[in-house]
Amino acid sequence: MYLEFFSVYRYFKEYIEASGGLLELKKALDWSVWYAVKWWREIRETGAAGDNVFAKSLYTSLLLQGFIDEDGNIKKEVERPELPKGLYAREWVEMHERFDQLGAAKIARDEVDRNALEILYSDIQIQGWHRIMIKTFLKAARMVSGLAILEPYSKEGHLAVLVYEDYAPSLYVGYEPNAALVDIAKSVAPQARFIAAPSACDIREKFDAVLLIEKMQWMPDPAKELECIKKALKGGGLLYIAQPVVESMPGYLAITSALGAVHVFTWKQVENLLKMHFTLEKRLIKTMPFYGAVWAHPER
Amino acid sequence: MQLVFHVVKNCKCGNVVYVEVPQREELSIRCPKCGASIQISADEFVEEVKLRDCEVRDWERIGALSTTVQQMVLQALESGRAPKGLWPLLVKLRDVGALICT
């Protein structure tokens, strides 16, 4: 699970330092596993492990990482980790704790207060570790200024804010099926343009870059959506992708799943979907703390 | 609770002028002290959320936020101003009745 630490350190040094160092980061990541096992146990014991993305994400990630067997029985117990001392590492643990307070079984049964989940989503977007993680990824992926950027599923516009803080895009367009979120995004990032649209198929302009940062889980039909994204991308244009996958942090994946995801993927599934329309330019990391890569439009 | 744009400009007479507008646009103003013209480009404005009179009505909701974000919300309430990144969260807290703003 931690085999990728070298790559992570190479590209995400700032993120690790902000977490308080490698050891602190490991402690924080251990908590994600600990909570995932806890939530899985709770939803199994209460018979809530039905057909929902939250339960599926817990099952697939814990199975793949050897914590449960195919029948869902826990085969590897996880000891309660030591609390990290670093500010951002603690913030990460606290995010799991807040989610835990909502009740895993309630979430799996869809009985949880939806407003609480909505508020948690906004909370996560402004947490320090999340900002640092995205900014570090964009830097590692060698993002530059002057690009016409398309952001699928732009939600509340937080990503646009981060991009404008460090770069100067020539154009920034976000599309989002939820019109209420489009209005919020317009207020959060007034320099950008946000459109209420269900898919990239409705976008007529051409872009130099697409930002797929924690986005693929929202796509009802990822293959079709990626095909439309390809049409919106100029020849040789780049697609920057950072996607939590089942080999990543099981707790965080479960949280993002509970916040309205439609799918969970392995890193290989992500690559197979991308391969249908794009060519791999550079893979930064396979799984830790997410799948991170740059893909290109095949026509130069 | 509304989104506003502000800028602080130094006039050549040394006077510090604070300008707040509801929309980001190019502006020409007169210094209230010396009457000199001050040009402000749209890019110079900084967005922020002006909270006016907001108070917490549901401490449980606020307590459920992460510690850092709780502090950001409480500081925003205290100062009457919030960074724009906090806007979506503040809107949701207002919509669920955790914050009452007049």
Q: With beta carbons less than 8 A apart as the criterion, state whether A16 and A88 touch.
A: no
Q: Helix axis angle, B87-95 relative to A114-126, nearest 10°?
A: 160
Angle B92-A103-A2 from CA coordinates, rounded to 5°: 95
Cross-strand partners of B29: B38
Tens-place pLDDT, residues A174-195: 999 999 999 999 989 988 999 9
Q: Domains of chain B: which residue ranges?
A: 2-47, 53-101
The bridge status of strand A233-243 relative to strand A291-296 is antiparallel
Q: Which residues of A touch B72 (CB under 8 A)?
A: 126
Tens-place pLDDT, residues A77-115: 899 999 998 888 899 999 999 999 999 999 999 899 999
- Burial label, A96 (beta-carbon count in 10 A; 0-12, 13-18, 19+): buried
Q: With beta carbons less than 8 A apart as the criterion, state whether A239 and A233 touch.
A: yes
Taking residues A144-163, report their average pLDDT: 97
Tens-place pLDDT, residues A191-213: 899 999 999 999 989 999 999 99
- Does the distance separating the beta carbons of A115 and B85 come in below 8 Å? no
| Res. A2: pLDDT tops 60 | no
Q: Which residues of A touch B96 (CB under 8 A)?
A: 115, 119
pLDDT at residue A209, rounded to an integer: 98
Strands (E) in chain B, as ranges, are 2-10, 16-21, 27-30, 37-40, 46-50, 54-56, 81-83, 99-101
- Does the distance separating the beta carbons of A123 and B89 come in below 8 Å? yes
The Cα–Cα gap between A99 and A252 comes to 10
Q: Where in chain A is the domain with CATH 3.40.50.150?
A: 141-296
Which of B3, B24, B66 is facing A123, going by the closest CB pair?
A: B66
CATH code, A141-296: 3.40.50.150
Confidence of residue B102 (pLDDT cuts 50, 70, 90): confident
Residue A299 φ/ψ, nearest 5 degrees: -90, 125
**Residues of chain B numbered 49-88 and touching chain A (CB < 8 Å):** 61, 64-69, 72, 84-88
| Res. B70: pLDDT tops 80 | yes
Confidence of residue A75 (pLDDT cuts 50, 70, 90): very high
